[in-house]
Each structure stands twice: as C-alpha cells, then as structure tokens.
Amino acid sequence: MNEPIDQGVRNTLAITELFGHPEVKVYKGLPHSSTTDSFTVGEISAFVHGVHGIGDVEIPDSSRAPETESAVDFIIDAVKTYGKELIYVPTGPMTNNCCGFEESPGNQGRNRPYRTDGRCSDRTGQRECMDRSQYLAGSRSGELHPVLRPP
C-alpha cells in the first residue's frame, strides 16, 4: 500500500479509465494491515511512489465509483466461482486476502496462480525479497496463511 485506501481507489478508477478500460471493476479493500490501527504514507513510499501513490502525476478523476461489494467479499466470491482458473493480482497488503481466507477457510489453496504484486505478471507468489511492499505491509497476514506465505 503506497497511499491511503481512498486515494488508492481513486487512483485505480482514474488509471483504468485513462487507459480505456472502464469495465475493470474496482473494489475497496481494508484501510490498513491487520497489525495496525491506521495507515500513514511512509517517507520512502512518498519518495518512490509520490505523495498520491502514482509518482505525483496528475490525472483526471474518473466519473465511476467503486463497486459496493467489499474487496474481501469479492475475493471470497471470485475464488468460489473461478477456483484454479482465477489469476488474482492484488496490488495492496495481503490483509484483504487473509480476511477472505478467515471468513471462508475452504478457499485456501483453491486459486493458483496467485500473484502478489501487480508487476509480477510472469510469475507467482513472492519470489525475492525485492517483491516488497505487499508482503511488508501485510506481513503478518502472509505469515498466517500458507497460500500467502513466500516460498
């Protein structure tokens, strides 16, 4: 997570629209990791990703709104619906995934491949220590569930 949840939702809606894919649904996730009470943009995140999470690039707001279903409920439903055919590419902490597995334990291990970073399009899971913030921001979640645990 490089920005507060509402900023991340705004960025995702704006970027998908900017690139001509307004059909991509956006679900609002949990506002912070399972081990914290809030989220604050860290100094290094602001340096790397900019204050607003997208490199301080200004892009117009989307006219769309996020889906009303929570990201956790979406994860649960998608895994049940698509099983191993689902390729899931979360772009935030693993807390949403962890909560989905806690609320629906039968989902654990049902969906592979599992990509834990939006830039990891050619491999599954966390493969190296530089596969970074998704594990760091939700590391306790990753430790709790074997599906999320790095190899």
pTM greater than the 0.75 cutoff: no
Query: Which residue did the predictor score with more confidence, 69 or 75?
Result: 69
When pLDDT is averaged across residues 26-36 and rounded to a whole number, the result is 81
Query: Which residue did the predictor score with more confidence, 85 or 6?
Result: 6
Q: Render 58-73 in DSSP notation, one character per residue.
A: --PPPS----SS-HHH
Q: Which of 103, 32, 50, 49 is nearest to 74 (CA)?
A: 103
CB 96 within 8 A of CB 29: yes
d(CA 28, CA 99): 14
**Which of 4-18, 87-101, 126-140 holds the top average pLDDT?**
4-18
Q: Which domains does the chain have, with CATH numbers?
A: 5-144 (3.90.245.10)
